[in-house]
Structure 1
Amino acid sequence: MAVNGTRQFIIESGGSLSGTFQVPGDKSISHRAVMLGAIAEGGTEVSGFLEGDDAMATLAAMRALGVSIEGPHAGRLRIAGVGRHGLKPAAAALDLGNSGTSMRLFSGLLAGQRFATQLVGDQSLMRRPMRRVTEPLSQMGAMIQTAAQGTAPLSIEPAAALRGIDYSMPVASAQVKSALLLAGLYAEGRTRVTEPAVSRDHTERMLQAFGADVAVDGPHVSVTGDAPMEAAAVSVPGDISSAAFFLVGASIAGGGSITLTHVGLNPTRTGVIDILRRMGARIHVEADETDAGEPVGTLTVEPAALQGIDIPPELVPLAIDEFPTIFIAAACATGVTTLRGAEELRVKESDRIAVMAEGLTALGIEAEPLADGIRIVGGAMHGGAVQAQGDHRIAMAFAMAGLAADGAITIDGCAEVDTSFPGFVELAQGAGLRIRSQESAA
């Protein structure tokens, strides 16, 4: 029976991946382009915008806050920026669907507004922890409340004034960092965030592109409130998180090679490439250009004999969203792969450690969940049935497992794939994956 939706993937065993193609636009950058374009002065042009459910939730919320946005038309938007103090009260609670990024970033952006807002989402999002962002925002003077369990709905009331703080994050998190920087745009003085490890820096890069007073000094990022922000042109590169499924698929397939063009190569996001290369993957990277401060390039991948590794802790925050598909690579590798220091995977769209371990076990792979990671013993992968538990990244990761399995794999709970990768099935089919999608009985 499907979980969190009735969409089901069936992947026949074998096959290979080949061809040249481009994955959809980066989800993280798409969110930020809409948010910053909305509060900048003037018209912001965005190309390559991801028309997935999560990014569209951000776009719909900005429209509800009074921002005029044309598009998307083939990934193109025109945002009529209203300035930092031009947002208007929404007529109802902002429904952010399944998007944790939207909820956490909006909590910071709206903390400094002169009106009240409530943030809600789907059943999955309403279970995800929010205190790690609301507590430091409260230290800045924000009037923001969670439910008793520390989850959404988030209720934000107008604050008398936000004040800049110097905040040391206990755990690296780009979403928490970004929420504090966005709130810092409305705060008195300077807001400084210190990270214990590097996390993705799209917010800092885009703030600079829009002319905000932001400074980066090693693990410290700071922003000054009341600095003017001007509209900018944003070209969104292909999402490396989406490319990761094909990097792993091409690595474990029996033959062929693929080339992925115009992929974002932000160094805070390329942990998946570094990890796969340490496992023996044959990934060639050709840097092409830089768009709005974001490096872009072309990736070519060929099949390789992978080896199990102990994943270096410094790479964990640089690949946090890609671990479901990295676990598939580990299952196909010779030897043992161990991940530690990744407790954040427990509070994503699902408990990704538990759900991936259960699915791998169902396919005949020894997978031991750990409190903060997993231990996977590579071996022969069999066909079988797995549950994605409504988690888009888990559904797509197990889809690629069909390239190495000795039988068909059925994946239930795949309806949420469109949140980050609309057209995944069609693109995968075109590349050679023997996949089909169908509605399953509820």
Structure 2
Amino acid sequence: MDLQIIPKKLSGAVTPPPSKSQAHRLLIAAALSGGRSVLHGLADSQDIQATRRCLTALGAGMEDLPDGGLRIHGLGNSVVQAGPAPILDCGESGSTLRFLIPVALLVQGEASFTGRGRLMERPLKPYEDLFREKGVAWKLEDNVLTVNGGRGYDALALDSGAYRLPGNVSSQFFTGLLFALPLLNGDSILVSTTPLESRDYLEMTRQALAAAGVTTRWADENTLCVPGGQAYQPFTATAEADWSQAGFWYAADFLDSQVETRGLDPDSAQGDKVVSELYWKLARPGDAEIDVSGCPDLLPPLAVMAAVRSGTTCFTNAARLRMKESDRLATTAAALTALGGRAEEGPDFLTVRGGPLAGGTVDCANDHRIAMAAAIAATACSGPVTVLGAECVQKSYPDFWEVYKTLGGDIHVL
């Protein structure tokens, strides 16, 4: 679907969709419990559909409730399921894939994972190196990853102990292990061999574990202690509004629209709540530098803010963005350049020089955050903006275009 957006300021109040990051975690914690949990506020995005689909394939029950909630019938604790290894279709969700590899090894002993787009090209080496060391067979071929603990169905495919992996690739590897390790018989430690990035995402994971009665603790800034022999308990929870998606509405307000963002928890564990601080940092004229290692998903809306402010903005420690749904350093730079802005990518940085935006055509490269960034940038352009492949917002914000229109956006389907 291609859209043309006629530049127009937005006005009104908006509540962002439920946090995708939190919803993934709550779903998995509920699925590992020994009873029935109820979750509310889960957005029906493609990524959340992927996690639900995979947990169902592993044996969890999912029951949609009349009030919009979801009842999850848990798998039980540390019980290896008999039967053939499932094929888990993760769609384009990196969270689903990385979170569920250790879970599938624990629950099933072996599993095959598949996905679409760039998913199976995204980094998995920290898991591959770790699990090969632990004796887990690992094979990635023809877009299908197969992992096999080699234990059959009479013993767990994972052992308790020390798990060491780099913390500068993605915190998602740590989250996947945090779900599995409490169910092992002995105690474990999870150690980052490099300075740990995106620590806030691990705090979100620990919150989901705590909701299910599972405890962990920090031994130091790079080491998590995970007691074994624990059991996930059923629970009831509601996913918070998503600070990552709120970033786009903050950007709209920065670009002189009158958008009030509601429903956000200022005390949330979501690291992207930092957008409220960065908004004011960018509002001050002059050159600015922003380290996005802890908030990589905010780069597109922050770059849109930077494109119209007075001064040059350099976004640093951004190498991980090259392995998102698109090479997001390249596609963000290309989008701003296509609209008449001035942006230059480097190996691990993006430099944006403020100035007027003219309008033009943006290829979303099948990246939901590029599509939303282009839509917000359009509000400050002097001419129309064409967005190619605009349907990609379904990945995380299915009703984004409807919300955009309710705020006064002028959109035409081409």
TM-score, normalized by length of structure 1?
Answer: 0.84
Q: Which residue of 2 aligns with 1:50?
A: 43
Whole-angstrom distance in 2 between the partners of 1:90 and 1:14:
55
2:288 maps to 1:309: yes
Q: Which residue of 2 aligns with 1:290?
A: none
Aligned with 2:237 (options 218, 234, 237): 234
CA contact (8 A) 1:330 1:378 kept: yes
2:190 maps to 1:192: yes
2:15 maps to 1:15: no
Q: Which runs of 5+ in 1 are unaligned?
A: 1-6, 281-304
Helix, strand or coil at the partner of 2:8: coil
2:373 maps to 1:397: yes
Post-superposition offset of 1:173: 2.4
Letter in structure 2 aligned against 1:167: R
**What RMSD in Å do the two structures reach over aligned CA positions?**
2.2
Structure 1 segment 25-424 matched on structure 2, within 5 A: 25-71=18-64, 75-86=68-79, 88=81, 89=83, 92-147=86-141, 152-160=143-151, 161-167=158-164, 169-171=166-168, 173-187=170-184, 188-194=186-192, 195-199=195-199, 200=201, 201-219=203-221, 220-253=223-256, 255-263=257-265, 265-266=268-269, 268-280=271-283, 308-311=287-290, 313=291, 316-424=292-400
Post-superposition offset of 1:218: 4.8
More strand by share: 1
Letter in structure 2 aligned against 1:156: V
Check 1:419–1:8 CA distance in 2 against 1; reply closer, same or farther (3 A cut): same
Post-superposition offset of 1:68: 1.2
Letter in structure 2 aligned against 1:239: D
More helix by share: 2
**Residue deviations 1:188-229 (CA, integer Å, cap 9, x gap):** 431323353442121111112211131134523231232112
Post-superposition offset of 1:426: 0.8
Report which stretch shifted further, 192-201 or 336-345: 192-201
Letter in structure 1 aligned against 2:161: G
Q: Which residue of 1 aligns with 2:154?
A: none
Letter in structure 2 aligned against 1:82: L
Whole-angstrom distance in 2 between the partners of 1:98 and 1:226:
33
Post-superposition offset of 1:132: 2.5
Post-superposition offset of 1:413: 1.9
CA contact (8 A) 2:198 2:295 kept: no
CA contact (8 A) 2:58 2:107 kept: no
Post-superposition offset of 1:36: 1.0
Letter in structure 2 aligned against 1:131: K
Post-superposition offset of 1:114: 4.2
Q: Which residue of 2 aligns with 1:300?
A: none
Post-superposition offset of 1:133: 2.8
Report which stretch shifted further, 101-110 or 177-186: 177-186
Post-superposition offset of 1:375: 0.7
Whole-angstrom distance in 2 between the partners of 1:306 and 1:251:
13
Q: Which runs of 5+ in 2 are unaligned?
A: 152-157
The percentage of aligned residue pairs carrying the same residue is: 26
Letter in structure 1 aligned against 2:160: R
Helix, strand or coil at the partner of 2:272: coil
Count of residue pairs the alignment pairs up: 400
